[in-house]
């Protein structure tokens, strides 16, 4: 009958404990709900995939910018503003203009944005998290990275 040394037995028991600890942590992580800086809301996407606008000085700029990531996936960036209606007072409050971005890395979010705009289903629910940065001039900024986006279905028109 094969025998095992005491050192080998301790080594196997330690490995078994590590596997058990990893399994427990993975189960705990899977059960967690997103917290912290996750933003969920609803916004309108730009009117067209190549929409332009003018500044107060009359300079034209792209409302929606298409580019590629370092891995070659499509990427889209656009500005949006969130609003809140206080039902008691009837007042509507608006957020500052926020920069949103998403790409086709893994999930085809940029393609979904294009598809929703072309289908004119531009009212969308989204989830995003912030990326904070400092530009070369030392100014602080933030960009919201979209992790999910779904178009809200439009109600059928009354006949």
Note the pLDDT tens digit of each residue in 38-67. 888 888 899 999 999 888 899 999 999 999
Contact 66, 74 (CB under 8 A): yes
Q: Mean pLDDT check: name the lowest of 48-57, 85-94, 110-119.
A: 85-94
Average pLDDT across the chain, whole number: 85
Euclidean distance between CA atoms 44 and 98, whole angstroms = 12
pLDDT at 74 over 90: yes
Euclidean distance between CA atoms 101 and 64, whole angstroms = 10
- Across 25-34, average pLDDT: 65
Residue-level pLDDT at 157: 62
Contact 22, 63 (CB under 8 A): no
CB atoms within 10 A of CB 68: 12
- Across 114-123, average pLDDT: 92
SS3 97: coil
Residue-level pLDDT at 35: 55
What the block records as the tokens of 38 is 């996750």
pLDDT at 15 over 70: yes
What the block records as the tokens of 112 is 């979904």
> Which residues, at least 6 apart from 112, have a Cβ–Cβ distance to it below 8 Å?
149
What the block records as the tokens of 155 is 């109600």
Nearest CA-CA partner of 148 in 120, 129, 121, 122: 129
Residue-level pLDDT at 73: 93
Residue-level pLDDT at 158: 62
């Amino acid at each position: 009958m094969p025998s095992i040394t005491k050192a080998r037995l301790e080594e196997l028991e330690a490995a078994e404990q590590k596997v058990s600890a990893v399994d427990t942590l993975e189960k705990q992580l899977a059960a967690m709900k997103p917290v912290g800086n996750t933003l969920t809301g609803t916004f309108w996407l730009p009117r067209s995939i190549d929409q332009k606008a003018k500044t107060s000085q009359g300079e034209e700029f792209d409302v929606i910018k298409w580019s590629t990531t370092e891995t070659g996936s499509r990427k889209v960036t656009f500005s949006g503003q969130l609003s809140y209606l206080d039902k008691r007072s009837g007042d509507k409050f608006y957020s500052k203009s926020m920069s949103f971005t998403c790409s086709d890395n893994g999930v085809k979010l940029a393609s979904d944005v294009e598809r929703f705009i072309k289908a004119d289903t531009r009212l969308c629910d989204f989830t995003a998290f912030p990326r904070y940065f400092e530009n070369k001039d030392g100014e602080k900024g933030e960009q919201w990275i979209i992790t999910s986006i779904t178009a809200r279905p439009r109600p059928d028109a009354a006949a």
